Structure 1
């Protein structure tokens, strides 16, 4: 495994980090708790030391699963990345979405990052995770109803109390990052990035490179689309959010699979899967520090982690880039 520091901090995490959204079941058509714990343990065994989760993933379920897995591994051996600012238990802030929890009950989810809410959320996360500190605490989405300085004054307080080691953001623009930095030093921004979703390269990547902020790319496999296992007639489980997304409609699936066919010879040359090639390409991309990869079981987790074993030549990277640029 390769390990990379976040920003100019001493926090060093695995270049392939375990993404625990699917582990929580919410929006992924349920989860198997034991499989999820085994997936985290298996990924650790092959060098993945960092786990990214959030309270909203299963409304606490993902954090509880991460906490259970970490207890078995040892807290001092891993880095826990979690988030704040999405409340399903408080109707305050900006309504983000209507959804259903894992029991099928309707819930409303709000983007809210007020001072007292953050302090409360942190305590709940620490309890679920079974730890007394969080390595990287990230606002999940911008909250237009709360001043940015109020949000990060609360995070500063948590850092001063030793409950949080480092602060990051998710889904922030360059301007929002700049505003947040007036209150607190950030080390990272977690944003969506994949071969078929490269919007952050226009502004966010440049800002982070110039200001020495790390980018944690989420959905680098585009929620499974870039594994090559999704076909136009793919049947999603009930409750799987992907069935309604534009990227999972037949035309886009066909277009994506055409791209994957073009790069498959490079994967074959390295005796790797398409997913592994995509993950390796992602962390080779300028400005991308970490790739978050989710897994539903141990086999998937190990397969993701072994993407690090691929060593692409500059010629191979340029060939892939040409196909991606023409997508």
Structure 2
């Protein structure tokens, strides 16, 4: 629900021990259930098992999700986890424990994770909701912990809430993670496209590369569909064509779209379009189908790189 009186609370929770983690998360969940809120707990596997056991007495009052699966692509978390849960309880306050950043997150994934944390503040502004984000202060490095202070208006340290002196405008903070991507390697297959009639050739090109790299037929279809949607976006929104590149990396297949359009909206792909709206689903679909989506938007062009695990 979005109203002028609604209050959105987005604290970060720093913890160093299992006891601190349980005290902060279970206290939040139990208070929310007592207040009548629907509660979602979306944390990575090991922590999920701990919280399932600690909150077992609350039964169906709590919904659980494995963030390492449902949120393995950080760009999928806002539309596919947070907003999807809130939509089930329209008109009611919801409370969520979301842990999108943990020590196992790779350097490739991290900028998308941090941008996600910043943009939560913009997406949920004016909504009647609370989202608690735990951070493992014993396992995360100092720069990532500092980013937690930048992306959360309030931090909980040692059980006490304190305003973050480093919190700022979420759009400006997210822009810090709009980082250039490494160059496309020479071994990549490359295809240029300029017309809608080129889309069939793009699909054949991506599918052949995906199958040759060892993707299953279903996952090759997922990558082909995502690439087609992104290329179609190029043709719809720019006055020129683009370039698609595909190459393997250890354990991954990578596909990149480069064009001369400017993706000005940092929330693109994070807010599902209205049911009757035409278009606007290409990037949403890429987030749904792929294991990671990285975007670098520049005034003179946009690069979208998607990853699928082999």
Normalised TM-score (structure 2): 0.32
Whose strand fraction is larger, Structure 1's or Structure 2's?
2
TM-score (structure 1 length as normaliser): 0.30
Give the structure with higher Rg (CA): 2
